[in-house]
Amino acid sequence: MKVVITGITGMRNRGVEAIITPTIEQLRKRQQDIEINILTQTPDYDQIRLNPYGVNLQLEKKHLQTKTTPPSRKKRLLSKLLPGYGLPKTKLIPSSSLLRNASAVIASGGDVFSPEYPITPHLKPLKLALDVGTPVIFLAQSISPYKREEDAEEWLEVARYSKLITVREYLTYNYLTKDLGLSTDLVKLTADPAFLLTPAPQDHINNLLKGYGISGERPLVALGTSQGICNYTSSTLDYDKHLRSWQKIIEMIVNELDAEVIIIPHVQEIRAGNDDRILGSQLLRILDYNPRVHLAGCDHTASEFKGIIAQCELVISERTHAAIAGLSSGVCTVAVGYSIKSKGISAELIGEDKFKEGLLISVEDFLNPKIVCEAVNNSWKKRNQIKQIIKKRLPNIQERAFKNFDLIINNH
């Protein structure tokens, strides 16, 4: 079996890494000789991350070029001899053999087909694959309701002809099967592969935390701050208000909860607008480099970040996969959401009834320090109760995450 994985913006986003590494591991467990090709926007950096896994990394745009198939000599001759004979239209096919020769093209990326982002670039390799008869599989997607009918139809033009669609939470499942009318034979409810990510070894994490000056004398709170979240919502949010809300949260954690803070920059893209280290560094400066506030700013792996988060008493995260790292480690996690993915993923582990207690905060409410600090304080008080709820429900979610790969192999 030979697969091509698309939807990969690059491993500088640790959420992408948190999806991809378990995906590789689980496919290999089911078929040892599987050939895995990954189309990515940053193959040079991703090679550093994925070198131990023996996958083929390819620059995405190189394999999206097309060529035409000219009519044969016989057909050209017939068109000249017979006035009514029309030449067939030329057809665009991938100039690269990768998509043509694959057993399946697997669309990953989490929520890259949601209307918060441009979906056309991520659909292109899938359309090319379908054009040459290569099966298409959507893996563990979250898709918010499309705001424009033409966007929904553009996605459906591919989805209707795909072989399998797995979705990682029930809100997307209901949207695709009820609102968009896709068959339940095609769409399957699973869970995010990141729930299967293995954290870095405990000794490694202990030394890492000591390296950041964290002694373990106080409880630790992880913050998954997002440099880019203000750009993802339907109305542009005030960046300075966002920064000040985080400042107030940190001050409350340090002064009222008597805890330490570690900021997790889960996305470290080249673009300044989506590099979480920038926001983290600004917070350190505003707080005058408080010795109880730390930025995990090294080039950490997704597994290292998960290992850090697992040592915390509470996680507050705008980044989905930092939140999943908390939930999959059994840590009380407050998600800050701008789309259905946060609500859908969190609800299945902690229950929607807990959202009113502060475990899900809209990004709009997050800009109100009074609301968000009250929510964090409530979550802190109930963290042990929430841990027990997560512990009880987590095995089912992990089983659903495994199901992704059973379905892929069985549909081959």
- CB–CB of 265/282 below 8 Å? no
pLDDT for 92 beyond 70: no
Neighbours of 72 (CB within 10 A): 10
- Nearest one of 400, 351, 35, 379 to 188, comparing CA atoms: 400
Domain residue extents for the chain: 2-70+80-189, 199-397
Which residue would you say has higher pLDDT here, 291 or 345? 291
What's the average model confidence in pLDDT over 94-104? Answer: 84
Mean pLDDT of the chain: 91
DSSP state of 31: -
Task: Summarize the confidence of residues 188-215 as an average pLDDT.
Answer: 97
Q: For the segment 346-358, what is each residue's pLDDT rounded down to a tens digit?
A: 888 887 777 667 7
Which residues, in sequence order, are bridge partners of residue 337? Answer: 362
On the question of pLDDT at 87 being above 60, the answer is no
Query: Which pLDDT value is given to residue 72?
Result: 63
Residue 395's pLDDT band, with cuts at 50, 70 and 90, is very high
* Rounded Cα gap, residues 395 and 393, in angstroms: 6
Q: What is the band of 364 on the pLDDT scale with cuts at 50, 70, 90?
A: confident
User: What pLDDT score was predicted for residue 207?
Assistant: 98
How does pLDDT run across 124-173, given as a tens digit for each residue?
Answer: 999 999 999 999 999 999 999 999 999 999 999 999 999 999 999 999 99
Per CATH, domain 2-70+80-189 is 1.10.357: no
Report the distance separating Cα 240 and Cα 247, nearest Å: 10
Same fold, 2-70+80-189 and 199-397: yes
Name the architecture of domain 199-397: 3-Layer(aba) Sandwich (3.40)
Average pLDDT on 27-50 reads 96
Percent of the chain with pLDDT over 90: 79
| Collapsed DSSP state (helix, strand, coil) of residue 367 | coil
Evaluate if residue 5 carries a pLDDT over 60.
yes
Of 158-162, 229-233, 299-303, which gets the smallest average pLDDT? 229-233
Q: Is the pLDDT reported for residue 77 higher than 80? A: no
* pLDDT score, position 229: 84
- Residue 345 corresponds to which amino acid? I
Specify the pLDDT at position 116: 83
